Structures are given as structure tokens and as C-alpha cells.
A and B are shown apart, each in its own frame.
Chain A
Amino acid sequence: MVAAVRWAIAERQAFAVSGSGSKLGWGRPGEQTASLSLSALDGIDLYEPEELVLSARAGTKIAELEQRLAQHGQQLAFEPPDLGPLFGGAAGAGTLGGAIGCNLSGPRRIAAGAARDHVLGFSGVNGLAEPFKAGGRVVKNVTGFDLSKLLSGSFGTLAVMTQITLKVLPAPEEAQSILVFAAAANAAIEIMGAALRSPHELSGAAYLPARAAVRSRVAALAHGRSVVVLRLEGAAPSVAARRAALQDLLRGHGDIAELATPDSRVLWREIRDVTPFISDGMRAVWQVSVPPAAGATIVALASADDDVFFDWGGGRIWLASEHDVATTTIRIRAAVAAVGGHATLVRATDAVRRTVPVFQPPSRAEAVLIARLKDNFDPHRILNPGRMYEGL
């Protein structure tokens, strides 16, 4: 890796850095002249279930990690989405480096934290060809700046991570859901809010309007009614008690149904992987993060033929639209600006992503810091230049 970056410095080349390339469609098309794939850099270096820690090379497939963890009843609690199919690729291709580089977090984000919260440390190489490490292998560690956070979600623009150490957690025995039907967006926000303010410890709160619900493989959703999905995970007796309590709490909000663990798992995987929008080919897709109570106001701005669904209790909105991407982006970002948050253009054609800012444009003061960080870690613009921001 060091040699590759040295070569790039000497030859004035710029790399498109990738794992398996499953999410190359995310971000700006970039200004690279060469590519650097980490897919051969794979394998688990350390896994100690009782210490809740795992280290693996950046190119290791998430699917492989999940399989290995499952053998010990453990999991990646941040529930990394498998976005390959959303970008028209195969399922199960995503790598560890890719998941962390994009800070990919699934529905359990609201209870267990984001991908970045599970990174304990890493080794990597910066744009000056310097190999370095940061963090460690223990959960509690405040020794120096938290570079693991900085690198998570930096889309490979500051340094290439070669090995990543993660906190892993026990997988729940049960993962059941409650469905509350026939709710409009603001009613759904109310229901999810009430459930999340209760002591019943939800690990997922999503809302699928009819057009998204009907695309689910789960039979209970097939009749295409709008539905709020609330997930309860944990030990069987605990889940049973909370399921009953939650139904009491929500009585009167709409028809209620229960989803047993197997169906529940399928449905949450669909929500996690943005499955409702996969078949739409190249319809543009945005991910919007706002204060959860504001979710409905954002959705109210969507056109009648745009498709949306909510995750994170209303705080994450997935939106697919056929309309002109530039104007839609302006509209979404104006709405986001009013309530606080950010909107990311996750899927669009190369041509669109070249002209429309993919990531929420930072404030003036923040932009200065971002540029200086890039200057300090990758002054020669070798690592994914332009992938996040033009010229950086």
C-alpha cells in the first residue's frame, strides 16, 4: 500500500480507492487516473468473542464477518446495509473498509449507534505514503484524537484503511416486530415517537407508505397498506413482555399485527438495504437525516410520484424521484436547512453527480476545516480526489 501511494506521488497519479467496488456509484465520480482495490487484502486477523473484539483486513467481505460472528452468537450491531443491489450490483459484495468508509449504518442505528461508534481502531496509509495506526482494541480509549471517527465516513479521501478493529456484540435471541397499519406520514411520526419515548427499548422504527410496503416480500404487507414497523429484540421473555406493553400503548392508533422473528428479519433487511427502491433502475435516491419529529415536513415537500420511506423513527428518509435531480436537490436541501440535518444524493447518474453536490454542502467555517484536513492528510490529492467535494 505504501509503495502504491509512493508511486502515485512520484507519477502524479490519483487513485479511485475501493473495496469490492460495490458502492463506487456513491459520491462524486472523482478525478482519479488509476484505481486501487483492496479486495485482495482480506481475512480476519483476530476475533475474541469474550472480549467482544474483531480485527480484519479492510477488504474482508461484511458477509464473511457476519457469518463468522453468527457462529458465536454475535453480530455487527450497527447492521451495515448491503447497498450493492441498490447500485445495480450483486448482493453480499460489500467489504469492511467500504462499510466504515461510508459510515454505513442500518435501522439499529437508533439503539446501537452508527458504524463509526463501533470502530475501535485501524491501521492505514495516508496520502503521503505514511503508514500509521490509531485507536486500539479496547472499547474505552481516549488516548489522543479519535481518528477512527474522522476516517469513518470519509470515503477514502484522507487515508486508506488497511486493517480495522471493531467492537462486536451479542446477537439477540429474538427479533420480532409490531405492525401498525393505515397511518399517514404525520400519524406515523406520532406512533414512532410514542414508541421510542416508551421504556420498551425499540431497535428499529420505520414507516413504509403503501407504495413501498407493497414491494416487500413479507406476506403481511402484501395488501399494500401504509405501515409502521417497530422492532423489539432481546431475550425471548423480554421481547414477549415488551410486545404486549407496546400494543397496549398503541391501541387506537390503527390495526395492529405481530411479525414473528423470521418474517421480521426479512422485512428489516429490506428496510436496511433500501430494497423498495432497487427495482427502480436509475431513479435518483436521496438519504436525508433530520430530527425525527421533522420527518413528515420533509416528506410533505415530495412530489406525488416520488417514493419515500422512513427509518430511524422518522429521522432517516429514503427518497426516490424521477424529477430533475438538481431542482429536487435544491428543494430537499432547503427543507433540511429549515429543520437541521443533511441530505445525501446516494444514487444518480455520473453526469448528475458531477454537477450536483452529492453531500450536504458544509457551512463556510466547516468548509475551511474540511479543506485543511484534506490538505494535511492528502496534500497531493492522491486518495479519491473529488469523491466528496470538488477539488478535495
Chain B
Amino acid sequence: MRMPEPDAAVIARKDEIAQALSDLFRADEKAAVITDPVQLRAFECDGLSAYRMRPLCVVLPETTEQVARVLRHCHEHKIKVVARGSGTSLSGGALPLADAVVVGLSKFSRILDIDYANRVVVAQSGVTNLSISEAVAGEGFYYAPDPSSQIACSIGGNVAENSGGVHCLKYGLTTNNVLGVELVTIDGEIVRLGGRHLDAGGYDLLGLITGSEGLLGIVTEVTVRILRRPEVAEAALIGFPTAESAGACVAAIIGAGIIPAGMEMMDRPAIHATEAFVHAGYPLDAEALLIVELDGPAVEVAYLRERVAEIARSVGANSVQTSTSEAERLRFWAGRKAAFPAVGRLAPDYFCMDGTIPRAKLPFVLTRMSEMSAHYGLGVANVFHAGDGNLHPLIMYDVNKPGDLEKAEEFGADILRLCVEVGGVLTGEHGVGVEKRDLMGEMFTETDLDQQQRVKCAFDPDSLLNPGKVFPTLHRCVEQGRTHVHHGELPFAHLPRL
């Protein structure tokens, strides 16, 4: 993975830059600038730990206004900036650059308002995903998108990655559950987009920010929609003799007009790895396992339970087990939720891939993947958000074996190419980051990528925010059009501000 050549002149001025950043804060402000190499080590990588880099320094501001000050300064002095939430990204989105400042949001850790009347929570961007649900659990509410990393990942990081979770089949991704953000642009402007109401009145800038991987601005505050907990939730474990029959079951359930709260699939290697790890009671004779979660009013769940079981049997399921208590439901999920660490026990290292495919292509893709696994001599286990076609192949390798890392990267790239080939996409929820950056050309033409860069140019013409991520090559932004904003002068200033 090649990163843009760091600017040696900037690195040479490292101490000076850190000092200038420190000088931005008054003595009574609690913002921090970290330069100590030992402390910096904690920021060297994110969840894609195969790639590491020590940043110039790390700034931990505490208020939006401080973020604005930092960005204004960096903009003026053309210093690159990498935003960081909790650093759990699996695509290297928060990977530091040697000539960039990391702006960490860890001090943005307060929930600002819980508003049951409007069914929203307003939180600072460093607040963890889970703590939002916890804050409203007492009143029977929750925040729906639930990435497996939810105890650690920040809501700002979720917005930046448009994160999903096992429940997004029914309840949507981050983008469908965020109502507003406060954003600081690279020139230090504070922009509020959306709020506690629905939909933008003009261009949907909120929709654009969501999933922008730290390339368009730094999110300091997020307003999310909260939902009332369903009356009942239960899970069914369904074992299948073949991946084909499991795939057919998924298609038949959706074809019957049922949208389960979650529908997860695991292949044989994943079933065995997790069963050995957490003893969830998974059927070891199955080639594929489905976890189907149903939620809603008790009568509805009971009604759908029967229909799902019927469908499963009609496509040849070996076994159908339905949870009869909350403890059992959680046990069914425990295996799936521990899939990553469970696979981690089988091999010294693993990559978690994240392509999406049209559901019907699943059997074909699984077959091709096992051929590739044989070809590269590397094991692969599959967990799969089956309901929405989002694959997470876990490629096992050993970084200490010469050539293994490169082979694993090649294998991963082949899988993602296959996803695109069958009509899918490179990444369903983990983001492009550095990991899939060089594969963007598999899915998009130059012109397609140009349009995305037009957005980048509108927000960050000097490309100071998270350079080297998402785009294989960054074009220089040309000054387009007629609206030149000189000295903060406003376009359409003549409009009455009604």
C-alpha cells in the first residue's frame, strides 16, 4: 500500500507546528497536544493494524470552537489533518500520515440532550454508539444501528463511515438514522446541517457528509433518531446442509414479504471456530447456519416465527431452533458476535473483508472463494449479513511468514473484484479508507470518480483532510464556475435572509 510521499519540509518543522498548535489554546483550556513518541504510539493505527504510521502530533480539542481554530490554522498553513474517533476503522480510514496532524475527538464525550418528545438524542461526536442506547434504555428506547464494535466506536466515526450492524436490514444504516450534524470545515467554518426535524430543505449535505470518511470536514455533534424497543425479540438458529439451501432460504423469506430484524449467515469454518470459542450451541453438522431475528408485537413475532420455520423446512433446512428466553436469544447471537475473535484464535492474523453482493449470487461467490482459498493456500471463514448481501470473509494469515501478508492482500482484492463482477460493491459498511482505495477503479470509471472529487473540491479544495484515503489519485481542484468566494464574501448575499 503506497501512501502519498510525505512532505519532508513539514516533518522537519514538526516541533514548531506542535508549538503553534499548542499556542492556539489558552492556559485555562483543556485541549491537549501530544508529541511524546511513546504516547503517540497509541494513535499509530486503527482497526486495520497491518498499517502503521506515526503522525506529526495529535491534537485533542474539547470544544467545537477549538476544532475550528485548529482547522483554520492548518488550512492557513497548509498542514494535513486526519480526524480520529475511536480508531476502530477496519479500512485504515484513521491511519495517520507522517506529515499530518491527527485531530482526536475523544474529549467530545458528552450526551448533550435526550429529547423523548421529538425522539432524538443529541451527542458530541466522540460519544460511543452503545452509550447512546444505554442512555435511553431506561425509557425503553434505543439507537438502531449496532456495529459489532459498538462499545468502542464513536458516533462521529459511525457518521464518517456510514456504519451498519446486524439490525440494519430492517432499521437502516447510520445514514437513515442521523437527523443532524455539526461540522467544522477545513477553513474553520462551523456548519449545522439538519437538526431534530426530517430532511434538508436544500441540497442534502447531511447525506453527503455521512460516509465521507473524514474527507469533507470534522463532525463535532450528531443528532440521531431513537426508536422504541420492540415488544418482543427472538432469534431462530437454522442449520442447512448446503450454502445453496441457506441462500434459497434467505431469498424465500424476503420473497414472502418478511423483513426480519436481522438475518445473519455463517459458513462451516465460521460455525466451527465460534462454537469452539463460545459454545453457543451451533449445529456442527451444518454447512451453513442462519440466525434469523424477528422483533415486534408478540402476535406478529409468533405469526412470523411459523412462516419462517415453514420456509426453512421447505428449502431443506436440517434444524430449526427458536430462542425461548432472552438469555437463549443472546446465546444464539454470542457466537456470531464473537466471530472475529474466534477466527483470531485459528490464525495469528486475519483480514476482515467487507464486500456486498446481490443475495442470489451467494452460492456462486462462496464456491469461487473456496477455490481462491485453495489457490492462495490461506484459510477463509465467512460471516455474512445475509439479508442485505454484505459479506465478511475473514482471511487468515501469518504476518511473520514471508509473503503471507501480500498473499492475503491479493486474496482479499480478488474477493472484492469478484463482488463487483457479480453486480455488488467493494465495501458495504467498513469504508474504502486505504484498504480498498486502489480497487476503486474496479467499480468506477475515471469520470465516475471525478464526480466524487467534485464534492471533495467543494469542501476541501487543497485536499488537506485525510489525503491518501478513498481516492486512488487525487486531481488538483480547478477553480470552476462563476461563484468565487473572496474574503468570506457570500454568494447570493442579495437574497433576503428570510
Query: Residues of A at under 8 Å CB distance from B?
Result: 48-53, 73-74, 103, 105, 109-110, 113-114, 116-117, 126, 130-134, 136-150, 152-154, 158-159, 169-171, 173, 193, 196-201, 234-235, 237-238, 240-242, 245, 289-294, 312, 315-316, 329-330, 333, 340-344, 356-357, 359-381, 388-392
Contacts and interface: CB of A to CB of B under 8 A. Distances in A.
Interface of B: 115-120, 140, 161-162, 164, 168, 172-173, 175-176, 185, 189-193, 195-208, 210-212, 215-216, 228-231, 251-252, 254-255, 257-259, 296-300, 303-304, 356-360, 385, 388-390, 423-432, 436, 440, 443-445, 447-452, 454-459, 470, 480-483, 485, 490-492, 494-498
A196 B119 CA distance: 9
Contacts of A170: 254, 257-259
Residue of A144, A293, A344, A370 contacting most chain B CB atoms (<10 Å): A144
Contacts of B425: 136, 138, 140-141, 143
Given A142-B427, A291-B120, A376-B455, 4 more contacts: A103-B199, A103-B204, A152-B204, A342-B200
A367 B175 contact: no
Contact of B172 (A117, A150, A235, A291): A117
B451 A134 contact: yes
A390 B198 contact: no
A179 B200 CA distance: 30
A194 B257 CA distance: 29
Contacts of B304: 235
A137 B252 CA distance: 19
Contact of A333 (B140, B452, B498): B498
Nearest to A356: B498
B212 to A, nearest CB: 6
A134 B453 CA distance: 12
B207 A368 contact: no
Nearest to B183: A365
B170 to A, nearest CB: 10
A199 B430 contact: no
Given A140-B173, A140-B390, A198-B228, A372 B458 contact: yes
Nearest to A111: B227
A73 B257 contact: yes
A366 B205 contact: yes
B458 to A, nearest CB: 4
Contacts of B448: 132-134
A144 B449 contact: yes
Given A315-B198, A372-B458, A392-B483, A48 B358 contact: yes
Given A138-B357, A153-B203, A147 B452 contact: yes
Residue of B208, B296, B444, B498 contacting most chain A CB atoms (<10 Å): B498
Contacts of A198: 228
Contacts of A144: 432, 440, 444, 449, 452, 470
B388 A138 contact: yes
Chain B: interface secondary structure? loop
Given A365-B189, A370-B203, A132 B208 contact: no
Nearest to B229: A199
A154 B427 CA distance: 26
Contacts of A116: 199, 204, 207
A136 B416 CA distance: 14
Given A150-B203, A199-B230, A375-B482, A291 B195 contact: yes
A138 B390 CA distance: 9
A390 B204 contact: no
12 contacts: A50-B252, A133-B448, A138-B358, A139-B389, A140-B425, A143-B443, A235-B303, A238-B297, A291-B118, A342-B201, A370-B491, A391-B492
Residue of B195, B258, B425, B431 contacting most chain A CB atoms (<10 Å): B425
Nearest to A172: B257
B492 A392 contact: yes
User: Ordered nearest first, which 7 A-B pairs have the shortest CB separation?
Assistant: A149-B207, A375-B481, A342-B201, A238-B300, A170-B257, A379-B481, A140-B428
B451 A117 contact: no
Contacts of A138: 356-358, 388-390, 423-425, 428
A152 B176 CA distance: 14
Given A235-B304, A365-B189, A316 B198 contact: yes
Contacts of B443: 136, 143
Contacts of B215: 145
B211 A145 contact: yes
Contacts of A126: 451, 454
A328 to B, nearest CB: 10
Residue of B200, B251, B448, B452 contacting most chain A CB atoms (<10 Å): B200
Given A140-B388, A149-B175, A149-B204, A114 B199 contact: yes
B496 A50 contact: no
B136 to A, nearest CB: 11
A81 to B, nearest CB: 13
B299 A146 contact: no
A110 to B, nearest CB: 8
Contact of A368 (B118, B444, B451, B485): B485
B204 A289 contact: no
A168 to B, nearest CB: 11
